[in-house]
Amino acid sequence: MFLLNKMKRNSCALVFLMTFLLIGGEFLVKAQTAGLVPLSGSIVTESSNSTAEAPQYEPIPGVNIVWADEGLNGSTTAGSVTDAEGKFSLSRAEGQNRIVVSFVGFKTDTIDVTGYNKVMVVLEADAEMLEAFEVARAKRSTFISTVDPIKTENITQDELCKAACCSLAESFETNASIDAADADGVSGAKEIRMLGLDGVYVQMMTEGIPSPRGLATTYGLTHIPGPWVGGIAINKGSGSVQNGYEAMTGQINLTWPDADKAPPLVINTFVNDMGRSEANVNIAHQLKKRPMSTILLLHGSGLIHNEGLNSKHDANKDGFWDMPQTKTFAATNYWKYRREKMVGRFGADVIYENRDAGQVSFNPNEIRDNENGYGIGIDTRRLHLFNKTGRILNDAKSRSIGLVLAGTYHEQNAFFGLRDYEGVQRTLYANLLFQTDLKTNQHQIKAGASMLLDDYAENFEGEDYGRTDKVPGVFGEYTYKSADNSFNAVIGNRLDVHQKFGLKVSPRLHLKYALTDDLIWRASAGRAWRQANIFAENTGIFASARTLEVQEELLPEEAWNTGFSLTQNFTLGNGDGYTSFDYYYTHFVNQVIADGYTNSSVLSFYNLDGDSYSHSAQLEFGYSPVKGLDLKGAYKWDNAWSTFGGEFFRLPFESIHKGLFNIAYEIPSEKWRFDVTAQLNGRKALLNTAGTDLGIGNSYSPFYTLFFVQTSYHFPMLDIYLGGENVGNFKQANPIVSANNPFGSTFDATNIWGPIAGRRLFLKLVFTLEKLDSKS
């Protein structure tokens, strides 16, 4: 299966060239020389999360390409091998018109390229060969797709292994695009940020299905174990209309390990010096007599407070546990099936967690009152079911239809001191997608319909905050690819109808232009909207003495996002590398304001009355000068402001400047591996804490740096990881305001700008049982 693309010159290349020069790039124009133009292009295969309704591709490094024909007069030319991005260039002699493409584990293909000087070949996996050979791809642990018209940063399992621990929320230590931090100083909740805004404006997806969302926003990322994740794709800016209307600043899509390729058994265990421990078991099975496979993912973790570790659990001596006591069990099981013209997945996941925190003196077995101390208890129960089915409708595989169905039940009951919260979310989701090429694959149409039903039953301090959202919608998307695949345009629109707020329109535009094979320019613009969940998205309601004030009916949040990016792949010496620059601007039409500035004793919610926006720019590079050595560095600038009580303030808890540097080295024998990461965090705006004992003389946090180190050793079936988080032992001083009087009017555990826990040492063991020759 392949796509042939004929090269063209485009007059607008000069415009894009000028854009690149303005930001300090370098573009080399090669003069055309006499003789035949070499054949160039890329070799790709369908990615593990590709479906009939939404095909996705990834490059294949190390593919061999040779001419099947001798040139006239018997002349021959040398073959070529694809690089880390799947790209190649092949010298050409007159009369050479067919190439042979081969790689272990894939079907060898012979392709007629008469009249073409650029091609993109999609190789099909050979199931029998994949059983006999282990396919090792020497690609970067993080790479930016050169095929996708939407800028997509792909994080592989190799990159995830650099993170010490343990959940998805803790998997972004070596990633500059995503910031992860504590949401408050007592509950252990984690939050992420992207493009200078809260993570709630990022559409989270699992296997292409919107999830976790809603009430799972607060703890959802901590409920996804890192060892479960097969890969993460990060899209900045507006996403595709086929995935819904909620992507304001981007999308994060995580995939499970591919059941077709995963080892039969992986056991991952972890323990750190604070007493936190966890175990993950991945069990995969491929049925030989049926085109089906399945994987079962199990997780159990906990942190138990005990007297022997009390000095570590309350290192800052404020009388509160630095980390919550948790008991978590989670399981996911999905099945994958494939027939001649049909592919599908179905499965379920469950979560059961108890989380206790608060003052060291609090006894959960006694009555909750001032005498017993300030306690926190959070119980979470969750069930998620899904089914994805795609069917190819013609022999050319250019027309397909897909259906996605999902249902979620999420229950969370909590108390913070004397405050009680109960929340239940019931969600049904359906998405029908039709996709077809128009005559050729240069023109593609996607159209579909969706239905989202959210039913929330929430009660806080005896007051009902329940609501129901019914949102049917239709969408359409047109994709154009030039003959040489150098230019792509994706134009889409959604029409959704909320039963209360009426029609919502969400147009989207994505452009990609390849100035050269290695220099990619992208731009995007789009509108998105969402319904805010004030409790799940603002733990400050619970973990402080602030009173809750909802001043008016809260309308849907709406925003425009525009941006562009430039990605340059390069070869320097014997190594490959890349540089990437992107800039995005998000402007809110309406935003639900959580106002903690105007009054230090009240958290007010109201609709935006003024301006609110975010500017975000990021420069990143990666380079592998020699085999085994990977270098990565990045700088990010975020400038986000909003209107609070008629005044313009910088959004709190977002680093204005952030830097990241990572160095990873693997010795030639591939036994030892070393990783060092440094995070540079600029100052952050803080909320109003006037009249409290915070001890900070201005409204900004200081600059600080965090360091992470890890070393690992590889045995044939066992990998051992030893390392440390925050090895510099940096901690925020006095993270909890009025910790000695938690029932007083100035208590506040939400002004968190840095780490609460100090240095943490860990040990991780990963046992992997490779595939055996068995029959079902």
Per-residue pLDDT of 235-251, as tens digits, reads: 999 889 999 999 999 99
Q: What DSSP state is assigned to residue 653?
A: T
| Neighbour order of strands in the sheet with 98-102 | 80-81, 64-67, 98-102, 109-112
Does the pLDDT value for residue 127 go beyond 50? no
Predicted pLDDT of residue 126: 61
**Cβ-contact 92, 75 below 8 angstroms:** no
- Cα 204 to Cα 560: distance, rounded to the nearest angstrom: 18
CB atoms within 10 A of CB 587: 14
Give the residue-averaged pLDDT of 145-165.
78
Comparing 632 with 22, which gets the higher pLDDT? 632
Does the pLDDT value for residue 16 go beyond 70? no
| Neighbour order of strands in the sheet with 547-550 | 547-550, 602-607, 592-595
3-class state of residue 129 by DSSP: helix
Question: Residue-wise over 567-576: b if at least 16 C-beta within 10 A, else e?
Answer: bbbeeeeebb
Query: Structure tokens of 758?
Result: 């100090």
Confidence of residue 48 (pLDDT cuts 50, 70, 90): low
pLDDT averaged over every residue in the chain: 85
> Residues 701-734: pLDDT tens digits?
999 999 999 999 999 999 999 999 999 999 998 8
Does the pLDDT value for residue 6 go beyond 50? no
CB atoms within 10 A of CB 478: 15
Query: Structure tokens of 37?
Result: 């133009």
> Residues 218-232: pLDDT tens digits?
888 888 998 999 889
Query: What phi, psi does 160 have (nearest 5°)?
Result: -65, -30
Predicted pLDDT of residue 719: 95
CB atoms within 10 A of CB 15: 11
Give the residue-averaged pLDDT of 113-123.
80
Predicted pLDDT of residue 440: 81
> Residues 355-378: pLDDT tens digits?
999 998 999 889 999 999 999 999
- Cα 510 to Cα 244: distance, rounded to the nearest angstrom: 16
Those residues whose C-beta lies under 8 Å from the C-beta of residue 525, and which sit 6 or more positions away, are 237, 238, 508, 509, 560, 561, 562, 563
Confidence of residue 79 (pLDDT cuts 50, 70, 90): confident
Confidence of residue 276 (pLDDT cuts 50, 70, 90): confident
Report which of 652, 411, 459 is spatially closest to residue 540, judged by C-alpha positions: 652
Q: CA 715, 719, 721: angle at the middle one, nearest 5?
A: 135
Range with the poorest average pLDDT among 133-142, 153-162, 311-320, 514-523? 133-142
CB atoms within 10 A of CB 431: 24
Name the H helices within 117-228: 127-132, 157-160
Pairing of strands 760-769, 375-392: unpaired
Does the pLDDT value for residue 471 go beyond 80? yes
Query: Structure tokens of 230?
Result: 């097969």
Q: Based on C-alpha coordinates, what's the Rg of the chain?
A: 27
Report which of 259, 224, 194 is spatially closest to residue 49, judged by C-alpha positions: 259
CB atoms within 10 A of CB 525: 17
Share of the chain above pLDDT 90, in %: 56
Confidence of residue 309 (pLDDT cuts 50, 70, 90): low
- Cα 146 to Cα 749: distance, rounded to the nearest angstrom: 44
The amino acid sitting at 332 is T
**Cβ-contact 142, 622 below 8 angstroms:** yes
**Cβ-contact 132, 151 below 8 angstroms:** no
> Within 13 Å and on the Cβ side, how many CA atoms surround 551?
13
Query: Structure tokens of 228?
Result: 């479960």
3-class state of residue 156 by DSSP: strand
3-class state of residue 679 by DSSP: strand
Predicted pLDDT of residue 447: 97
Give the residue-averaged pLDDT of 67-81.
66
Comparing 401 with 599, which gets the higher pLDDT? 401
**Cβ-contact 595, 645 below 8 angstroms:** yes
> Residues 665-696: pLDDT tens digits?
999 998 999 999 999 999 999 876 654 444 33
Confidence of residue 306 (pLDDT cuts 50, 70, 90): low
Signed CA dihedral, 41, 46, 47, 50: sign only? positive
Report which of 596, 550, 594 is spatially closest to residue 690, judged by C-alpha positions: 596
**Cβ-contact 455, 425 below 8 angstroms:** yes
Does the pLDDT value for residue 14 go beyond 60? no
The DSSP line for 26-76 is --PPPPP-SSPPPEEEEEEEE-TT--SSS--EEE-TT-EEEESSPPGGG--
| Neighbour order of strands in the sheet with 209-210 | 142-144, 152-156, 231-236, 250-255, 202-206, 209-210
Give the residue-averaged pLDDT of 640-663.
94
Ramachandran class of 241: left when φ > 0, alpha when ψ lies in -120 to 50, beta otherwise: alpha
Confidence of residue 189 (pLDDT cuts 50, 70, 90): confident
Residue 212: cis peptide before it, omega within 30 degrees of 0: yes
Confidence of residue 513 (pLDDT cuts 50, 70, 90): very high
